Amino acid sequence: MGHVIKPLLIAGVVVAYPFLSAYLTGLGFASLELIVFAALTLWRGITSTGLVARLASFTLAAVLLAGAYFATTYFVWLVPSFAYLWLTFLFGHTLWSPPSFIERLVRLQFPELVPGITDYCRNLTWVWTLFFAVNIVICAALPLIAGQTAWALYTGVVVYLLMGLLGTGEWFYRHRRFPDLEIPPALETFKVIAMNGHKVFKG
């Protein structure tokens, strides 16, 4: 049960962050928000077993604390870019250290893959890696180019609609690409990932 609740709580915080950050910044609590995120990141580093993950967490925590010290509003706006930077690394490094991230997710349901699926999963991992990389730049540039309202709307609504479109489009394409492949309902797949997704990060 805990494996389901934790991802839901994390997802809720991520979705609410742009609007919460805009509200807290308006009240003058930008530094406090960064300190909270720095503490969570530091704890993640302490509990991580991998050296790279631990160093990355400690580095990000230090950067967040530096932002809190200088108390710049723009630094608060950069937090989504840091999140997409982490996702870019998370997906991207598996392209050089197979299996790819999507393949790891697929194997949660199908330990044995039919021919052609491994390459498909690798290409799909490339697509998501590039998507996250592009969003690093967009989320960093929007508050400077279009203002805080546009930034909050994009990071809190539009980007998730784009993710939904990308995921839905891939689901339909998969049916055409592999017409004889057993493809479970999307809801069943989400349930498996919520229950067992933590296994993807082992090793």
pLDDT tens for each residue of 167-188: 999 989 998 998 888 888 777 8
Q: What is the pLDDT of residue 148?
A: 82
Quote the tokens at residue 19: 């609007």
Q: What is the pLDDT of residue 127?
A: 97
Q: What is the pLDDT of residue 197?
A: 67
CA distance 76 to 183: 41
Q: Which domain holds residue 23?
A: 2-201
Q: What is the pLDDT of residue 137?
A: 96
Quote the tokens at residue 21: 């950050």
Peptide bond into 99 cis (omega under 30): yes
Q: Please state whether the predicted TM-score (pTM) of the whole model is above 0.95.
A: no
Distances (CA, A) of 200 to 39, 88, 93, 147: 24, 16, 13, 37
Q: What is the pLDDT of residue 125?
A: 96
CA dihedral sign of residues 53, 59, 63, 69: positive
The closest alpha carbon to 142, from 184, 79, 58, belongs to: 79
pLDDT digits (tens), the chain, 203 positions: 444 555 555 555 555 555 565 556 555 555 666 677 778 778 877 877 777 777 877 887 887 777 776 656 677 788 788 888 888 988 998 999 889 999 999 998 888 888 889 999 999 999 999 999 999 999 999 989 998 889 889 988 899 999 999 999 998 999 899 888 888 877 787 777 767 766 776 65
Q: What is the pLDDT of residue 74?
A: 73
Measured between its terminal Cα atoms, the distance across the chain in Å is: 23
Quote the tokens at residue 78: 């950069």
> Count of domains in the chain?
1
